[in-house]
């Protein structure tokens, strides 16, 4: 390409959104489409792709691998749970792990993944590493889907400043034909099919150079090959774990119990407040009433449309307020958390003060009267 | 919008590549001058530093350019060039570094310690930081050519050269700190961006910092925060918390996280870490949840008002990032379908944005939008950020929650740790630090380490004060620091008779009114208060009725108006106070009927009410011995009204007589954001006029106790407010030059002291004075523990004498301060701050909460604001 041509195209080669964002978006779209549960990003660098993926609700296990621990450490704390994740534990479980190691080595921690992404990774590999790479990723890890992206060297002349490679650490940059033949051969060898695409459209009129970043998406043909491979080659751990974060989740008994207890007590408090304010509104001094009339106030209007048997209604007796568990269980939030009434009882056992027969939450209001 | 809007620009630099060898010898640390001949046009720009005390940072990085330094020359860097921070946002000089007030006070240059009292062995929460011998921190300036804006990218590009720079570094985008010296003074590096652009990076040595340089202090703090992060603690606001072991209080839907506050500073002899246990109260509900429950409580009509009252000013956490925002406003006309402009100029709706960026579905599309102002003071940019209520979690307590007795009781169980437990929690943190391999490695790499045992030293407990009341002298038990029992039934110094007064109550409180009256008649004679029967007025329980009665029945002879209120609804109280403090200046006493409902406490309550009423009418209760003659004591405090009007109130009180039992008061209502009192001059002039009216001369000594000075505001106080005092005094007359002492009072300090008693740790007794080891060398400062606490740890109060021409010995200033803590008439005991501060606080609070404008001056010689 002559010099004039390059100059002419200088301003054109600005991608919007930036190319790395487009690559990440590509992976994200793929995740949305195939809903993998376990995703690994090889060559995760500053963890920005992992950070983006942690918001995808289908993913339960996220792993990152990089040869450089420092670059991972720089931003790894962005992968930690946020305070709000602890305050409102989510339904799904999520574990994020970062490993320090090479894609030329096998480590059992990389087994069992649904999706493995290698975004702008292979061009950083030395020849010897590149040779081992297919065996490690396709043969050993053997996930259902592998995504590999790499620069398309045919696009390079459109960049005014790129002399040989786009980055000094690149060991090679392939043309479309080179990448595709490598990919097809790899796919054939390990029983995968491959589709080619890319991000970063070439300028109009230059379509034949192809995408700026070329991408191969590999799908494993047989659903269960991975397992046989695993058992054949038991390997020992060679990666070093540099970071691990387990997100609070309602799947974890501890968080579920906390959430249920908190919701039960809160719901019971609401019912109690309404009950008490109703009594106050009725005009009489609550203390006098409970002393002299021994009245049992019933309270059902707060339940709205729910039909509750008469003996299952909240009531006040002396200084104690009783709110039946069945009433609390009928609140949608509690109901959704516990699923069954038995589970509710089990989860709050010993943590919430109940009536002697265990059928109702009990509050003592003697103290409150005093303080107020 | 949010994060993106924070990307800081920096002043234009025409030729960012810095010359090798530094041909621009730039002085540093001179505020008010922008340096560097590369930007001659900037010399006309008003200096940024002068406007922002303690401001330093990126915006000035232009003047932090290369500096001609001979290697090995120890130069303590000024702060102006430091902008290192561990997360986004500008860092204020929270510790008021670089305000050196002691050097101007000759009489305390040698020693600022007192001598009276008995010795007491104390332990504190300070830990010595040590650095290896000949420790030096290397400070580099990093420049990019072509200029790179994004901090992330700057960082990424620089650390492509990890081999050259080493793995241990701290970098904020402009300034790089390394524990070792690079081979050459100027290092040029070449990096390539993802787009294949080459960027030349020039790393220039600008400074070699000794361990005690102020820049290093900020650096230590940042490194320490990094360590806390490595321990997997979560940053919320300025502190770090442990999320893995929360205490939940389901009754109130609260969660408490245990965490730590930390600061590393230069103290008297050592650089020390001051660490304290901190509790973060978090709420398990979103702002939207809260809005729903407010709606169900107050209904449609008062919904918006109530939301504004309860929510504005609260700090929220968001679901998607680790930032805290303050709710400044609620935009009711907006909703999640509304759009905003992204940094790239495109319009996107909130719904789309959160879906795309974080995969978050906003379920309620009708909710309003919260507005948070993002301040960037130095460049006077006021950006605002829109937040979706559904995605925000509340933190901290609202005023409403604070007034909920049972909630506070439940909380106190978890947050009020007694001394032993507090130290135990602290040592747990230090054990984590000591045991964590990564943390130790980081410390080693920087050549730093901690002494893991807290600092011990001796303090002094000054003698208890004698309480004088009508010729009788009392001692009080130091254990309780309270003399309500001792002085019961003793005549007051000055009892004001109740000849004509009103007692207003609603029908349902008829019983309460009678009980109160009987009890008052029982308790008042022994105090020497002569009391006539009041005009009893029964009203229906509406605000308008109260006001109408006041208008009709209050006469110029009325001594005081007493109202019994049924509920703690603020509007009625506010209306009564407003009317009686402004339009019709008569002291008033409001009491909740509930307070009078318990027969077993009614006498105690009546006694307290009688005392309070007496003070409000100009009475005097007790006194302590004040050895100084012709002295006027001033107290100042501020109240910031965050809800309505967004104004600040400065309360100003000044003593009127020799035994400091009578107080003059004024207050200044100032517009938003004005932190420091502007109208002080007028207040002080009025106070002097009144003092001379009472004493037939002008005071020869003036002590100002200034409360309400925030972190980082000390500089402004010293350079702006103190000169105002001096100006004011000068304006009184050429031959008038009283001795002036200005003391900054700070209640919220990180330091805690524990008395070592029989192998255990206890709270130090009231009167404990600390003026060594943990004070600051550049200040004339001391701590006093004056109050006692029933549970938890007692917090010392910090006193910083920023201006003093009194020529008094430090011991005398300390004693006077402690004496004044005995003089608050609403509490028969010792309080945390000198009485004038508490009076000023009370006044500012009343005006800020209820009255919203300056009260009538006819009341100014009475404690009507108690």
Are the C-beta atoms of B206 and B138 separated by less than 8 Å? no
- Of residues A20, A162, A258, nearest to B248 (C-beta): A258
pLDDT digits (tens, 9 = 90+) for B222-265: 899 888 888 888 888 888 998 877 888 887 888 899 898 888 99
Contacts within 8 Å (CB) and 24+ apart, B351-357: B353/B1, B354/B320, B354/B388, B354/B391, B357/A55, B357/B320
Contact A262 B284 (CB under 8 A): yes
pLDDT for res A234: 60
Task: Indicate the DSSP class of residue B91.
Answer: P
Contact A265 B360 (CB under 8 A): no
Contact A55 B322 (CB under 8 A): no
pLDDT digits (tens, 9 = 90+) for B376-399: 544 445 678 889 999 999 888 877
Minimal Cα–Cα distance from B176 to chain A, Å?
Answer: 15
Average pLDDT (A350-369) is 78
Do A134 and A257 fall within a single domain?
Answer: no
Do A242 and A332 fall within a single domain?
Answer: no
- Of residues B155, B167, B406, nearest to A368 (C-beta): B406
Q: Which residues of B are catalytic?
A: 637, 675, 707, 841
Averaged pLDDT score across all residues of chain A: 82
ipTM above 0.90, yes or no: no
Do A47 and A192 fall within a single domain?
Answer: yes
Nearest to B500 by CA among B619, B617, B578, B663: B617
The DSSP secondary structure of B821-853, one letter per residue, reads: TT--TTSSB--SS-HHHHHHHHHHHHIIIII-S
pLDDT exceeding 70 applies to what percent of chain B? Answer: 86
Residue labelled with tokens 């995760």: A44
Nearest to A107 by CA among A137, A82, A147: A137
Using CA coordinates, name the residue in chain B closest to A15. B195
Contact B358 A80 (CB under 8 A): no
Distance in angstroms (rounded) separating the CA atoms of residues B391 and B138:
43
Lowest mean pLDDT among A19-23, B68-72, B568-572: B68-72
Cα A82 to Cα A189, B244, B353, distances in angstroms: 43, 11, 20
pLDDT for res B636: 95
The CATH number that applies at residue A112 is 3.40.50.150
Better-scored residue on pLDDT, B282 or A3: B282
pLDDT for res B645: 58
Using CA coordinates, name the residue in chain B closest to A90. B319
B contacts of A35 (beta carbons < 8 Å): none
Contact A20 B283 (CB under 8 A): no
From first CA to last CA, the distance across chain B in angstroms is 45
Distance in angstroms (rounded) separating the CA atoms of residues B669 and B649:
5
Contact B243 A81 (CB under 8 A): yes
Do A50 and A85 fall within a single domain?
Answer: yes
Q: According to DSSP H, which parts of chain A are helical?
A: 3-9, 19-34, 48-53, 69-75, 83-87, 127-134, 176-190, 225-232, 253-281, 286-292, 325-329, 332-338, 341-348, 366-371
Average pLDDT (A324-329) is 88
pLDDT digits (tens, 9 = 90+) for B114-126: 999 999 999 999 9
Distance in angstroms (rounded) separating the CA atoms of residues B747 and B752:
12
Contact B319 A84 (CB under 8 A): yes
Tell me whether strands B315-318 and B324-326 are parallel, antiparallel or unpaired.
antiparallel
Using CA coordinates, name the residue in chain A closest to B155. A74
Are the C-beta atoms of B746 and B800 separated by less than 8 Å? yes
Are the C-beta atoms of B537 and B507 separated by less than 8 Å? no
pLDDT exceeding 70 applies to what percent of chain A? Answer: 82
Banded model confidence at residue B148, pLDDT cuts 50, 70, 90: confident
A contacts of B284 (beta carbons < 8 Å): 87-88, 262
- Domain extent, residue A135, equals 19-224+233-247
Q: Would you call the peptide bond into B146 cis, given omega within 30 degrees of 0 as the criterion?
A: yes
Does B351 have pLDDT greater than 60? yes
Nearest to B643 by CA among B863, B400, B860, B364: B400
Domain boundaries, chain B: 137-209, 495-617, 625-758+797-826+835-859
pLDDT for res A297: 38
Banded model confidence at residue A139, pLDDT cuts 50, 70, 90: very high
Lowest mean pLDDT among B34-38, B44-48, B381-385, B496-500: B44-48
pTM of the model: 0.77
Contact B250 A261 (CB under 8 A): yes
Do A112 and A151 fall within a single domain?
Answer: yes
Do A332 and A190 fall within a single domain?
Answer: no
Are the C-beta atoms of B31 and B47 separated by less than 8 Å? yes
Contact A162 B284 (CB under 8 A): no
Look at residue A94 and tell me if it is in a domain: yes
Lowest mean pLDDT among A31-45, A205-219, A239-253, B34-48: B34-48
Look at residue A88 and tell me if it is in a domain: yes
Using CA coordinates, name the residue in chain B closest to A165. B196
Lowest mean pLDDT among A6-20, A331-345, B325-339, B827-841: A6-20
Contact B253 A266 (CB under 8 A): yes
Distance in angstroms (rounded) separating the CA atoms of residues A230 and A225:
9
B contacts of A56 (beta carbons < 8 Å): 359
Structural element, H or E, at residue B155: helix B151-158
pLDDT for res B70: 34
pLDDT for res A191: 94
The correct CATH number of B625-758+797-826+835-859 out of 3.30.420.10, 3.40.50.2300, 3.90.1150.10, 3.40.630.30 is 3.30.420.10
Are the C-beta atoms of B638 and B841 separated by less than 8 Å? no
Does A371 have pLDDT greater than 50? no
Chain B residues whose C-beta is within 8 A of a chain A C-beta are 155-156, 159, 162, 167, 192, 194-198, 229, 232, 234, 236, 241, 243, 246, 248, 250-251, 253, 255, 257, 282-284, 286, 317-322, 344, 357-360, 393, 405-406, 409, 594
Contact B196 A166 (CB under 8 A): yes
Average pLDDT (B813-832) is 95
Do A135 and A238 fall within a single domain?
Answer: yes
Minimal Cα–Cα distance from B359 to chain A, Å?
Answer: 6
Look at residue A285 and tell me if it is in a domain: no
pLDDT for res B48: 28
Do A143 and A77 fall within a single domain?
Answer: yes
Averaged pLDDT score across all residues of chain B: 83
Tell me whether strands B175-178 and B170-171 are parallel, antiparallel or unpaired.
antiparallel
Average pLDDT (B398-425) is 85
- Of residues B198, B317, B320, nearest to A161 (C-beta): B198
A contacts of B257 (beta carbons < 8 Å): 83
Look at residue A145 and tell me if it is in a domain: yes
Neighbours of B30 (CB within 10 A): 14
Q: How many CB pairs under 8 A join A and B?
A: 93
Measured over the CA atoms of residue B213, residue B218, residue B219 and residue B225, the dihedral's sign is positive
pLDDT for res B577: 94
pLDDT digits (tens, 9 = 90+) for A217-255: 999 998 765 454 555 556 788 999 999 999 999 998 888
Does B85 have pLDDT greater than 90? no
Does B102 have pLDDT greater than 90? yes
A contacts of B197 (beta carbons < 8 Å): 161
Look at residue A342 and tell me if it is in a domain: yes
Distance in angstroms (rounded) separating the CA atoms of residues B432 and B381:
41
B contacts of A13 (beta carbons < 8 Å): 195
Lowest mean pLDDT among A194-208, A269-283, B55-69: B55-69
Task: Indicate the DSSP class of residue B116.
Answer: -
Look at residue A14 and tell me if it is in a domain: no
pLDDT for res B470: 86
The number of domains in chain A is 2
Considering just the CA atoms, what is the radius of gyration of chain B in Å?
Answer: 30
Under DSSP, is residue B616 helix (H, G, I), strand (E, B) or coil? helix
pLDDT for res B28: 34
Distance in angstroms (rounded) separating the CA atoms of residues A286 and A300:
19
pLDDT digits (tens, 9 = 90+) for A71-120: 888 788 889 888 888 888 888 999 999 999 999 999 999 999 999 999 99
Contact B196 A167 (CB under 8 A): yes
pLDDT for res B166: 87
Q: Which of B359, B360, B412 should be substituted to probe chain A, the one whose Cβ sees the most A Cβ atoms within 10 Å? A: B359
Average pLDDT (B803-823) is 96
Instruction: Tell me if the domain spanning B137-209 has CATH number 3.30.70.
Output: yes
Report, in this order, helix, strand and coil percent for chain B, each rounded to 5. 30, 25, 40
Distance in angstroms (rounded) separating the CA atoms of residues B633 and B687:
10
Q: Which of B198, B227, B250, B596 should be substituted to probe chain A, the one whose Cβ sees the most A Cβ atoms within 10 Å? A: B250
Label residues A279-314 b or e (16+ Cβ within 10 Å = b): beeeeeeeeebbeeeeeebebeeeeeeeeeeeeebb
- Of residues B194, B196, B284, nearest to A88 (C-beta): B284
Minimal Cα–Cα distance from A86 to chain B, Å?
Answer: 7
Minimal Cα–Cα distance from A255 to chain B, Å?
Answer: 11
Do A114 and A64 fall within a single domain?
Answer: yes
Banded model confidence at residue A126, pLDDT cuts 50, 70, 90: very high
Which residues, 6+ apart, have CB-to-CB distance to A279 below 8 Å?
A286, A289, A297, A316
Do A258 and A237 fall within a single domain?
Answer: no
Distance in angstroms (rounded) separating the CA atoms of residues B558 and B502:
8
pLDDT digits (tens, 9 = 90+) for B833-844: 999 999 999 999
Do A243 and A271 fall within a single domain?
Answer: no
Banded model confidence at residue A185, pLDDT cuts 50, 70, 90: very high
Instruction: Tell me if the domain spanning B495-617 has CATH number 3.20.20.10.
Output: no
Under DSSP, is residue B768 helix (H, G, I), strand (E, B) or coil? strand
Contact B405 A371 (CB under 8 A): yes
Lowest mean pLDDT among A307-316, B297-306, B410-419, B555-564: A307-316
Banded model confidence at residue A293, pLDDT cuts 50, 70, 90: very low
Does B32 have pLDDT greater than 70? no
CA B642 and chain centroid, separation: 15
Does A149 have pLDDT greater than 60? yes
Residue labelled with tokens 């994060």: B3
Do A36 and A131 fall within a single domain?
Answer: yes
Lowest mean pLDDT among A34-38, B39-43, B330-334, B608-612: B39-43
- Of residues A46, A57, A167, nearest to B359 (C-beta): A57
């Amino acid at each position: 390409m002559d010099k004039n041509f390059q100059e002419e195209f200088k301003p054109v080669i600005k991608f919007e959104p930036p190319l790395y964002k487009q690559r990440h978006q590509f992976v994200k779209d793929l995740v949305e489409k195939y809903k993998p549960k376990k995703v690994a990003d090889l060559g995760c660098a500053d963890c920005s792709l992992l950070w983006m993926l942690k918001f995808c609700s289908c993913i339960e296990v996220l792993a990152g691998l990089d040869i450089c621990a420092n670059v991972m450490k720089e931003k790894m704390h962005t992968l930690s749970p946020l305070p709000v994740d602890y305050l409102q534990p989510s339904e799904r479980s999520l574990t994020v792990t970062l490993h320090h190691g090479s894609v030329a080595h096998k480590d059992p921690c990389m087994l069992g993944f649904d999706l493995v992404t290698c975004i702008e990774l292979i061009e950083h590999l030395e020849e010897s590493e590149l040779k081992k790479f297919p065996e490690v990723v396709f043969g050993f890890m053997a996930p259902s889907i592998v995504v590999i992206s790499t620069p398309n060297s045919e696009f390079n002349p459109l960049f005014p400043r790129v002399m040989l490679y786009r980055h000094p650490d690149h060991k090679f940059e392939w043309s479309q034909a080179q990448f595709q033949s490598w990919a097809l051969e790899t796919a054939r060898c390990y029983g995968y099919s491959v589709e080619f695409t890319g991000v970063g459209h070439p300028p109009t009129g230059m379509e034949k150079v192809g995408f700026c970043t070329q991408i191969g998406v590999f799908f494993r043909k047989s659903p269960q090959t991975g397992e046989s491979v695993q058992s054949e080659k038991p390997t020992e751990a060679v990666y070093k774990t540099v970071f691990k974060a387990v997100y609070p989740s309602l799947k974890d008994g501890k968080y579920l119990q906390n959430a249920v207890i908190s919701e039960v007590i809160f719901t019971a408090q609401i019912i109690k407040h309404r009950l008490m304010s109703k009594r106050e509104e009725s005009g009489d001094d609550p203390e006098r009433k409970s002393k002299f009339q021994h009245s049992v106030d019933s309270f059902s209007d707060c339940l709205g449309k729910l039909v509750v048997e008469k003996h299952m209604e909240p009531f006040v007796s002396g200084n104690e307020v009783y709110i039946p568990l069945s009433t609390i269980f009928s609140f949608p939030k509690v109901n959704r958390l516990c699923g069954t009434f038995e589970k509710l009882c089990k989860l709050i056992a010993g943590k919430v003060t109940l009536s002697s027969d265990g059928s109702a939450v009990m509050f003592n209001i003697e103290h409150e009267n005093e303080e107020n | 919008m949010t994060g993106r809007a924070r990307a800081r620009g920096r002043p234009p630099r025409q030729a960012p590549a810095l010359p090798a060898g530094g041909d621009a010898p730039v002085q540093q640390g001179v505020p008010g001058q922008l340096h560097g001949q590369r930007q001659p046009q900037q010399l006309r720009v008003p200096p940024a530093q002068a406007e922002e005390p303690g401001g330093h940072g990126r915006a000035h990085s232009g003047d932090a350019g290369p500096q001609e330094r001979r290697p090995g020359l120890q130069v303590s860097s000024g702060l102006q060039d430091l902008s290192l921070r561990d997360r986004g946002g500008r860092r204020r000089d929270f510790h008021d570094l670089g305000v050196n007030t002691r050097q101007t006070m000759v009489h305390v240059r040698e020693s600022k310690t007192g001598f009276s009292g008995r010795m007491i062995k104390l332990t504190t929460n300070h830990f010595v930081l040590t650095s290896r011998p000949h420790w030096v921190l290397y400070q580099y300036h990093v420049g990019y050519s072509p200029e790179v804006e994004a901090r992330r990218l700057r960082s990424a590009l620089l650390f492509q050269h990890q081999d050259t720079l080493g793995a241990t570094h701290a970098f904020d985008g402009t300034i790089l700190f390394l524990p070792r010296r690079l081979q050459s003074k100027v290092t040029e590096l070449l990096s390539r961006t993802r787009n294949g652009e080459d960027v030349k990076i020039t790393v220039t040595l600008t400074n070699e910092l000794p361990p005690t340089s102020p820049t290093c202090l900020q650096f230590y703090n940042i490194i320490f925060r990094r360590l806390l992060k490595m321990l997997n603690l979560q940053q919320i606001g300025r502190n770090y918390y442990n999320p893995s072991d929360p205490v939940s209080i389901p009754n109130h839907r609260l969660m408490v996280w245990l965490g730590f506050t930390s600061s590393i500073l230069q103290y008297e002899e050592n650089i020390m870490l001051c660490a304290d246990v901190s509790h973060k109260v978090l709420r398990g509900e979103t702002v939207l949840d809260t809005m729903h429950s407010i709606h169900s409580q107050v209904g449609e009509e008062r919904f918006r008002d109530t939301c504004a009252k309860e929510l504005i000013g609260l700090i929220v956490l968001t679901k998607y990032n680790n930032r805290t925002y303050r709710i400044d406003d609620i935009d009711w006309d907006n909703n999640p379908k509304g759009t905003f402009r992204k940094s790239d100029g495109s319009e996107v709706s909130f719904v789309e944005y959160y879906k795309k960026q974080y995969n978050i579905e906003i379920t309620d599309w009708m909710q309003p939008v919260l507005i948070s102002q993002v301040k960037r003071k130095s460049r006077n940019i006021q950006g605002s950020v829109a937040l979706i209520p559904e995605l925000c979690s509340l933190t901290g307590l609202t005023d409403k929650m604070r007034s909920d007795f049972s909630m506070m009781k439940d909380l106190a169980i978890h947050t009020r740790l007694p001394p032993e437990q507090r130290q135990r929690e602290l040592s747990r943190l230090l054990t984590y630090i000591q045991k964590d391999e990564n943390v130790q490695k980081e410390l080693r790499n920087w050549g730093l380490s901690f002494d893991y045992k807290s600092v011990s030293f001796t303090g002094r407990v000054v003698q208890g004060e004698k309480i004088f009341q009508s010729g009788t002298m009392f001692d009080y038990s130091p254990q309780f620091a309270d003399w309500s029992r001792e002085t019961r039934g003793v005549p007051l110094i000055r009892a004001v008779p109740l000849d004509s007064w009103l007692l207003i109550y609603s029908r349902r409180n008829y019983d309460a009114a009678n009980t109160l009256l009987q009890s008052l008649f029982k308790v008042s004679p022994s105090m020497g208060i002569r009391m006539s029967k009041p005009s009893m007025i029964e009203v229906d329980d509406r605000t308008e009725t109260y006001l109408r009665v006041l208008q009709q029945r209050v006469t110029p002879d009325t001594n005081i108006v007493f109202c019994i209120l049924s509920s703690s609804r603020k509007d009625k109280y506010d209306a009564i106070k407003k009317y009686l403090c402004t339009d019709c200046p008569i002291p008033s006493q409001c009491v909740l009927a509930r307070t009078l409902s318990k027969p077993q406490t009614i006498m105690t309550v009546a006694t307290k009410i009688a005392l309070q009423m007496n003070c409000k009418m100009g009475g005097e209760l007790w006194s302590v011995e004040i050895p100084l003659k012709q002295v006027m004591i001033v107290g100042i405090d501020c109240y910031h009204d965050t809800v309505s009007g967004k104004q600040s109130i400065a309360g100003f009180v000044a003593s009127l007589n020799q035994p400091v039992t009578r107080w003059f008061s004024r207050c200044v209502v100032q517009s938003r954001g004005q932190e420091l009192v502007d109208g002080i001059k007028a207040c002080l002039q009025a106070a002097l006029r009144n003092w001379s009216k009472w004493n037939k001369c002008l005071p020869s000594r003036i002590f100002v106790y200034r409360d309400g000075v925030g972190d980082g505001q000390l500089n402004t106080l010293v350079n702006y407010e103190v000169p105002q005092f001096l100006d004011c005094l000068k304006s009184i007359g050429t031959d008038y030059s009283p001795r002036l002492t200005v003391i900054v009072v700070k209640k919220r300090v990180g330091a805690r002291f524990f008395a070592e008693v029989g192998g255990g740790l206890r709270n130090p007794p009231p009167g404990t004075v600390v003026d060594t080891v943990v004070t600051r060398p550049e200040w004339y400062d001391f701590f006093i523990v004056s109050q006692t606490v029933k549970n938890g740890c007692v917090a010392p109060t910090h006193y910083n004498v920023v201006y003093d021409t009194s020529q008094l010995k430090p011991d005398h200033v300390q004693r006077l301060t402690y004496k004044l803590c005995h003089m608050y008439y609403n509490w028969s005991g010792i309080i945390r701050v000198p009485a004038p501060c508490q009076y000023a606080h009370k006044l500012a609070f009343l005006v800020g909460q209820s009255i919203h404008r300056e009260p009538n001056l006819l009341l100014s010689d009475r404690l009507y604001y108690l």
